[in-house]
Structure 1
Amino acid sequence: MARRALILVEGHTRMGLQYVQAAQRLGLHPITLSSDPAQYDYLAAEGSEAIRVDTDNLDSLIRECSRLCAPHDIAGIIGFSRADESACVTAGKLCRHFDLPGPNPTAIERCCDKFAQRQLLAGAGVPVPAYRLAANAAEVETSAAEIGLPVIVKPAVGSGSCGVRLCRNVDELAEHTTYLLGGKHVWPSAPRILVEEFAQGPYYEADIMGNEVIAIGAAEFGPPPDFVFREFTFPAPLNDNEYKRIADVSLDCLRALDLGWGPTNIEFRWTKRGPVVIEVNPRLAGTPDPELVQLAYGVDLISEHIKLAIGDECDLHRRHSHTAAARILVPDHDGILDWISGDTRAAAVPGVAEVKFYVEPKTPVVRKGDYRDWIGHVIAASPSVARTEAIIQRAFDSIDWSITPFPTPGE
């Protein structure tokens, strides 16, 4: 009998291993199709099958999947998010071609264009910040003047807060526009910049599977003008009415964007007018969200996503209610990482679920102002908010590192 295979289009440096292991637990044979399988260390470490193929070429992927149909029964196909989230769209197209469960690729593609997403949400009456689209420096300047400083300036396509910056005055606006248009930012296509109102207030995110809101968490960023996450907590400290308002707006987003299959992550700011949608991501949120949802409620979003992709029934009911939190390790300056230690001590703190370092000693650390600044995390959970906060603080205090600044020119 042919083995049931799960096709993974590209991989993911922080969640790919979890998908591979979850697929194996479900009795599936995971096969990763990637333009460069070697970039995903976990594939070799797990001995997981990987095939080199141009994942930007749909015809090449169709041919490879057709070839794999002979020795395998392809049960499902899942695409991982990349810088432009194109693998998610491609996976949706492959699902349509092979008549497998999957998302609407047209809806995913529209949603990944933040300007198109804003238009659809605003047209459906969903609360969003004021926004403009700009293609050059003059249009950025005009858009910011119309909206009023401060503004958020970011690429219209992208993820992980790459290229996203708060511009509080005309100098910061000019500086960031030069960065985006001056060759330092990598664009997947012609530059398109979204300029939008800075919606101020606490940050929340909703994790959704299908049409069901599974969890709402809170997060905090480091200092502006960048948006680098520092801490996550599930569940968010919301009363019943606040939770319902965010959940209701989340479902309005799904309807407006023609989503509703598989995972969706929606980001909010709670402003004076209530929950305002910052972004809808037509995919599972990255680390540490899946781990926190599982610790807080006992719902394994990764396994349930795979079940959905292979046509099995999902089990999304909550098994318990704890408080789970993650603290991110972020350096405060650039340089060479001399050493990082304390992971064993931190992991030994009762209630700590995971301690992970992303970098090795002697690695250059160059901050980008986005998720790439992370050098590790600590995750903890307990039945109470206060207890979880105490656990994660104790564990975090056990970790230390040293970074030697790069020599300045002339030294």
Structure 2
Amino acid sequence: MAHAVLICSGARVPAARLLDHPLLDRLSIITEHGHTARYPDGVAVETVGSVHDVDEVLAAAWRIAGRHPLDGVLAPYEVGLPAAGYVRTVLGLPGPDFTTATLFTNKHAMKQRLAAAGLPLMPFAGAHSDAQVRARAVEFGWPVVVKPAYGGGSKDVAVVADAAELDAWLAGGGSPRPRNPTAVVERRADILVEYHCDGVVHDGAVRSVVTSRYLEPVLGRIGQGDPYGSYQLPSDHPEHRAVAELHAAAVAALGLRSGVTHLEVFGTPDGLRVSEVACRPGGGAIPAAIHLRSGVDLVDACVRTSLGLPPFPDGTPAPARTDARYVGHCGLALRPGTITELSTEAELAALPGVLDVVLHQRVGDRIAGHIYSASAAGFVHVGADTEEEVRERLATVRAAYRIRTRPDGTGPDGTGPESTRPEGPPASAAPDSTVPDRTAPDATDPRPPTPDHAAPAAPARPVAEAVAS
């Protein structure tokens, strides 16, 4: 049994399986000020002003280690990875060190290293001021993709079509600043298809790799009412083999010895192009989907490798829970406001090929906050024999799903009507068709359902990812 510290920003509520992992007899938390009430009694919590401040996080970890020796640092969320690497390096703990964590989180440093190793990327450049961002955009030609070097969940990632849109992005928070001093500007890819590739690495070798194909490219759809969906490709699928080769090359280039990975790859008219890679589990229901089809538990592998253990308890993954050749999953759209009607698990489970349904929201929940690429009211997993069939079954789920909300201040007792729409793109006439902006809360949230008539007075549920982002 071991003692680990979990680094988690105030914007996240860790899943229960992290807080109660069987390998840990003691878990301490480092989070940001004002968020200690999210954790159970008996869990030691240290707070910092920001998990981005690696020295402040190190001081908190030092205080924790002084009370009880530490065996590892858990960082399943993107924003905690650099500080986790710093703590591991200074305190001599297992897992990705500060250099490795930086290469997997600083998108400019990452792309430089991948390009030097010969991996195919879109043309890119780093910029450290607004003027440099504008100059690089002009060099590449419109449209361009802009993003901060550090960040997760596609936050502040945008496609800008001209100088006016770029200025709006800079003014809205994209401008380089001391805490995030580099912006990445890259030529926009003509994306025909997008993949994610999720792996487990131990002793420098890839021990498991799964390639999945998104139902549509993620960039540009965030906040449009369509959470991501994807399906896993069989190991003999030619697209899997090509993406898996890029994954192995990326892992080698960035120097990961042990851990879990999440790679994003674009298919373009000119071939595959690597987008980004992270050393953490993929967000949303990606770990659950992979566990269902292949038996690989990415979250458990993340914990084990963070403690310096082999990723699989018995040397190999557990058996798969389905023999379906194709397994896909899709997120269910969130809407801002108070939920007054929501598809039930039983309704969704009755659809063709459905293997599992998990809902994170309930009638009466009030949705507010920021949206990430894995934001969803829940997830549905389906199985199929062919690629065409898995896509059809996921489309059926999306079409059947319904959510009805009352925007804050409107509805029967307010100034406007309730509104409803299926999970697809928002209707421009809907009074609450603004971008939903919060992530799906952990399904283990203990708060009881709030009656619909009382919902306007209820606080918004804390932001969380299903596993990671």
2:367, 2:73 → 1: CA distance? 36
Of 188-197 and 104-113, the range deviating more from structure 2: 188-197
| Structure 1 residues 80-112: Cα deviation after superposition (integer angstroms, max 9, x where no partner) | 325xx2x22333343344544211221211331
2:181, 2:92 → 1: CA distance? 35
1:107, 1:5 → 2: CA distance? 23
Question: TM-score scaled to structure 2, two decimals?
Answer: 0.72
Shift of residue 398, structure 1, vs aligned partner: 5.0
1:7 aligns with 2:5: yes
1:201, 1:406 → 2: CA distance? 39
1:357 aligns with 2:354: no
Question: TM-score scaled to structure 1, two decimals?
Answer: 0.81
1:298 aligns with 2:288: no
Determine if contact 1:380/1:388 at 8 Å carries over to the other structure.
no
User: What residue number does 2:77 align with?
Assistant: 81
Identity of aligned residues (%): 20
Determine if contact 1:104/1:259 at 8 Å carries over to the other structure.
no
Q: Given the superposition, is the C-alpha separation of residues 223 and 100 from structure 1 closer, same or farther in structure 2, using an over 3 Å criterion?
A: closer
1:63 aligns with 2:63: yes
Shift of residue 43, structure 1, vs aligned partner: 3.5
User: What residue number does 2:173 align with?
Assistant: 180
User: What residue number does 1:341 align with?
Assistant: 342
Determine if contact 2:101/2:279 at 8 Å carries over to the other structure.
yes
- Stretches of structure 2 that go unaligned for 5 or more consecutive residues are 417-469
Determine if contact 2:156/2:174 at 8 Å carries over to the other structure.
no
Shift of residue 124, structure 1, vs aligned partner: 1.4
Shift of residue 256, structure 1, vs aligned partner: 1.7
1:348, 1:400 → 2: CA distance? 14
Of 235-244 and 293-302, the range deviating more from structure 2: 235-244
User: What residue number does 1:114 align with?
Assistant: 107
User: What residue number does 1:214 align with?
Assistant: 209
Matching residue within 140, 149, 153 for 1:147: 140
Matching residue within 46, 51, 66 for 1:52: 46
User: What residue number does 1:204 align with?
Assistant: 195
1:163 aligns with 2:160: no
Structure with a larger share of its residues in helix: 1
1:101 aligns with 2:103: no
Q: Describe the SS at the equivalent of 2:27.
A: strand
Of 289-298 and 230-239, the range deviating more from structure 2: 230-239
2:174, 2:230 → 1: CA distance? 36
Q: Given the superposition, is the C-alpha separation of residues 391 and 15 from structure 1 closer, same or farther in structure 2, using an over 3 Å criterion?
A: farther
Of 141-150 and 228-237, the range deviating more from structure 2: 228-237
1:284, 1:362 → 2: CA distance? 27
- Stretches of structure 1 that go unaligned for 5 or more consecutive residues are none
Determine if contact 1:166/1:225 at 8 Å carries over to the other structure.
yes
Please tell me the root mean square deviation across aligned C-alpha atoms, in Å. Answer: 3.4
Q: Given the superposition, is the C-alpha separation of residues 14 and 76 from structure 1 closer, same or farther in structure 2, using an over 3 Å criterion?
A: same
The runs of 4+ residues in structure 1 deviating greater than 6 Å are: none
Determine if contact 1:218/1:233 at 8 Å carries over to the other structure.
yes
Q: Given the superposition, is the C-alpha separation of residues 166 and 221 from structure 1 closer, same or farther in structure 2, using an over 3 Å criterion?
A: farther
- Equivalent AA in structure 2 for residue 195 of structure 1: V
Q: Given the superposition, is the C-alpha separation of residues 119 and 348 from structure 1 closer, same or farther in structure 2, using an over 3 Å criterion?
A: closer
Shift of residue 325, structure 1, vs aligned partner: 2.2
Q: Given the superposition, is the C-alpha separation of residues 153 and 245 from structure 1 closer, same or farther in structure 2, using an over 3 Å criterion?
A: same
User: What residue number does 1:327 align with?
Assistant: 330
- Equivalent AA in structure 1 for residue 263 of structure 2: I
1:273 aligns with 2:274: no
Of 133-142 and 285-294, the range deviating more from structure 2: 133-142
More contact order relative to length (CA 8 Å, sep ≥ 6): 2
Q: Given the superposition, is the C-alpha separation of residues 97 and 168 from structure 1 closer, same or farther in structure 2, using an over 3 Å criterion?
A: closer
1:92, 1:327 → 2: CA distance? 32
Determine if contact 2:194/2:266 at 8 Å carries over to the other structure.
yes
Q: Describe the SS at the equivalent of 1:127.
A: coil
Q: Given the superposition, is the C-alpha separation of residues 387 and 95 from structure 1 closer, same or farther in structure 2, using an over 3 Å criterion?
A: same
Q: Given the superposition, is the C-alpha separation of residues 13 and 396 from structure 1 closer, same or farther in structure 2, using an over 3 Å criterion?
A: farther
Matching residue within 98, 121, 124 for 1:131: 124
2:340, 2:396 → 1: CA distance? 20
User: What residue number does 1:382 align with?
Assistant: 383
Determine if contact 2:297/2:317 at 8 Å carries over to the other structure.
no
Determine if contact 1:14/1:287 at 8 Å carries over to the other structure.
no
Q: Given the superposition, is the C-alpha separation of residues 358 and 32 from structure 1 closer, same or farther in structure 2, using an over 3 Å criterion?
A: farther
Q: Given the superposition, is the C-alpha separation of residues 14 and 251 from structure 1 closer, same or farther in structure 2, using an over 3 Å criterion?
A: farther
Q: Given the superposition, is the C-alpha separation of residues 181 and 382 from structure 1 closer, same or farther in structure 2, using an over 3 Å criterion?
A: closer
2:238, 2:266 → 1: CA distance? 16
Aligned length: 389
Matches within 5 A, 1:195-274: 195-199=185-189, 200-210=191-201, 211-212=205-206, 213-221=208-216, 225-227=220-222, 230-236=227-233, 240-274=237-271
Q: Describe the SS at the equivalent of 2:341.
A: strand
